[in-house]
Amino acid sequence: MKKITRRLSLLTAALLALTLSLSACGSSSTASSSSAPSSASSASSSTAGSDINVAYICKNTVDAFHQTINTAAKDALDGLVANGSIKSWQLYDGQTDPATQVTLLDTAITNGANFVIFLPAEAAGSDPVVTKCAEQGIPCIVVNSKTNSTDDKATAFVGSDDVFAGELMGKYIQEKCPNGGKYLHMQGIIGNSAQIDRGQGIANTLGADSKFEMVGEYACDWSADKAVTNATDAITTYGDQIVAIVCDNDDMSSAVQNYCNSIGRTDIFCIGVDGNAGPLGMVKAGTLGATVLQDGASQVTTAINMIPDVVAAKQVEKSTMIPFVLVTPENVDQYLK
């Protein structure tokens, strides 16, 4: 934390010199923002928080899981603005593109950002966001998935153990298909840490079980449409030999299960990760066997709640893991909202 204290001291000095020239977050086609009201009470605050402008660089604003995360982030960041812990915040849409995320960091710094909450698109491609923040002394908390240097250079990481998520899926398939068989794996974006680690968890279980054979592994980029296309081709090729389809997210698993059900293959077990409202509803209705729930809202809220402590140079957890939960018909009512 001495390093963080020294960086924050230098940062605060620079910000004091720029206070009169920097405005609150400006409008942008890729960003939305929330700033502290210009009342006398908030403007006169002498705390470090009065100088903190947070750049929230999200992965995207379109898929269901990240929409949930972004909504939770907005609520938490608005709360920090309201209580004076930060001056302002701005959302930057990474569009699931690492190059865009790297460019957005430069834009955010130009706009006066001096604290970053970051949800990476890829482990390698998005890593310059983390390394540049470290080089410039800007605190950066990484959320949901890691970049290559997150463990060494980020202020903190808040996410979930994706290897465990992959193992939960694999064990579920082993339970439902005790005689084994052929299965497919629908992957997320290649190079994303969640894709890498969930794949490792699947390999640790199904890959290590001689009763199972993976006959197709497809880079679907988290896309339901791509997953259904690949599932269609594989089922045409292997027919009744396919017993399960394991997906890196629920957008894919729910779409593939709907396709299987529509062609009379309700015997194929599909499972994915996230626990979005749609898949949870399918589990409740009995049209999807299970999902692995990832509490993205808690991930990002936990990260944002660290901001005041980081600014105050207090000790924060370097790595925080929010547990995954296997949701089945037996416990789905606990998670339906």
* pTM, two decimal places: 0.78
Residue 6 predicted with pLDDT over 90: no
Please measure the distance between the N-terminal and C-terminal CA atoms of the chain and give it in whole angstroms.
Answer: 39
Residue 166 predicted with pLDDT over 70: yes
User: According to DSSP H, which parts of the chain are helical?
Assistant: 2-18, 40-43, 64-82, 98-110, 127-136, 150-153, 162-176, 193-205, 224-238, 250-262, 277-285, 296-305, 307-311
Q: CB under 8 Å to 225, separation ≥6 — which residues?
A: 255
**What is the predicted pLDDT for the residue at 85?**
97
Domains in the chain, CATH or no CATH each? 2-157+297-321 (3.40.50.2300), 162-293 (3.40.50.2300)
Residue 330 predicted with pLDDT over 90: yes
Per-residue pLDDT of 129-165, as tens digits, reads: 999 999 999 999 999 999 999 999 999 999 999 999 9
Per-residue pLDDT of 16-32, as tens digits, reads: 333 333 333 333 333 44
What are the DSSP calls for 201-245, one per residue? HHHHHTTT-TTEEEEEEEE-TT-HHHHHHHHHHHHHHHGGGEEEE
**What is the predicted pLDDT for the residue at 48?**
62
